[in-house]
Amino acid sequence: MNGEPDVLLGISGGIAGYRAAELVRLLVREGVGVQVVMTAAAERFVGSTTFAGLSRRPVLTELGGAGDPVFPHLDAARAARVLCVAPCSANTLARLAHGIADSLLTESALAAAGQLVVAPAMNVRMWEHPATQANLAVLRDRGAIIVGPDDGELAEGERGTGRMAQPAAIAAVVEMLLRPTGPLAGLHVLVTAGGTREPLDAVRFLGNRSSGRMGIALADEALARGAIVTTLVCNSAVAPAGGTIIATPTANDLERRVGELAPTSDLVLMAAAVADYRPAATEPGKRRRADAFDLRLEPTVDILAGLGSARRTGQVLVGFAAEAGVDLASARAKRERKGVDLIVLNDVSRSDIGFDVLTNEVVLVDAEGHHLVPRADKRTIARAILDHVEKLLPR
């Protein structure tokens, strides 16, 4: 492959390095020029020859070779429009956050002018450590796009968040950055994701089992289609790959932010599981343990209904209905009552879809009728939802 690379792909140490080979294959198949740079630790898990064959370019390594350029990190970083680090170990993540240039990869990161995309991969306890989360916050504030990590079984036998995101998901983000066009290009999209938590006292709350994965999948898919995305995150287990991210832990927080942002949005996807009730009074400290106590609840504001009554011309509103069973009559009535274009109905009584799992199955209910989207991973469900939404947008 001739010409300057579009993407500088950094591979750091970890068993997930073998999955980066699929990422290279996917990008090259789409005509993307990929220059791979590997850390010494990465070479202990997978050989550079594999990546040289897939990328059709010599791989940049710590040892280098006789024919290598004098300043390989500067040359590659100058040319690439995207620097993608996948997998990104906890060690490399910390170095990227703090500008430590002690390897060819981290030197390249300091010299790179393109967009930084990071796909973390590590043990769940390392991922959850405050130092790792602080490093992520630094990179996000600097404009980096974080893809993943996913939940699941980890290499050492534990389960939890830490698996490198699927190569296809990473490739979609990279391709979107290289070709920022698509059916939603230029549209402002507002997404809500996760479940609100309504405080009982300083440490306890009323909440639900929403992981936020469905809303985040919608945000990621909208980004991949060229949209300008803002995601209001209610205690989600995962974060979107990019765009603007705002924490809205309670129904009050969400109501305020939706009120601020929805009027200027072209498309609003209300995927968050918002509490219908909250404690009428909250203890400022921790409530002492007792045999029993009475708890009085009060209703929260119906945010979706408020949007429907105040919508502007041309704006598309999508609501979600989490029900125990598939009640189409109720979903149709909810769509009309709340004044929205589309209701996404999902059955949360099933253990294999909906809350707290990686898959979903939904029924799309609009003015014309209903359409079943069969069980699949949540990114696939998000694609089906946005395919349908595109038909509702003004032409």
* Measured CA angle at 275 (ends 270, 277), to 5 deg: 140
Residue 91 annotated as catalytic: no
Query: What whole-number distance in Å separates Cα of residue 197 and Cα of residue 388?
Result: 31
Query: What whole-number distance in Å separates Cα of residue 272 and Cα of residue 357?
Result: 15
Domains, the chain, in order of start with CATH, read 7-178 (3.40.50.1950), 188-392 (3.40.50.10300)
Query: What whole-number distance in Å separates Cα of residue 101 and Cα of residue 97?
Result: 11
* Chain centroid to CA 363: 23
Peptide bond into 279 cis (omega under 30): no
- Asked whether 149 and 164 are in contact (CB, 8 A), the reply is yes
* Chain centroid to CA 84: 16
- Amino acid at residue number 230: T
β-partners of residue 365 are: 343, 370
- Kind plus residue range of the DSSP H or E element containing 322: strand 316-323
Strands 188-194 and 159-163: unpaired
Query: What whole-number distance in Å separates Cα of residue 77 and Cα of residue 374?
Result: 43
φ, ψ of residue 247 in degrees (nearest 5):
-80, 130
Distances (CA, A) of 345 to 47, 315, 325, 392: 47, 21, 9, 17
Catalytic residue from among 91, 135, 208, 235: 208
Peptide bond into 87 cis (omega under 30): yes
Distances (CA, A) of 391 to 309, 366, 395: 22, 11, 9
pLDDT in tens, the chain (395 residues): 456 788 999 999 888 888 899 999 999 988 888 989 988 888 888 888 888 888 888 888 875 544 455 555 577 777 788 999 989 999 999 999 999 988 889 888 888 888 899 999 998 888 989 999 999 888 888 888 888 888 777 777 777 888 888 898 888 888 878 876 788 987 889 999 999 999 999 999 999 989 999 999 999 899 888 888 889 999 988 888 777 788 899 999 999 999 999 998 999 999 999 999 999 999 888 888 877 888 899 999 999 999 988 888 889 999 999 888 888 999 999 999 999 999 999 988 888 888 878 899 999 999 999 999 999 999 999 999 999 999 999 86
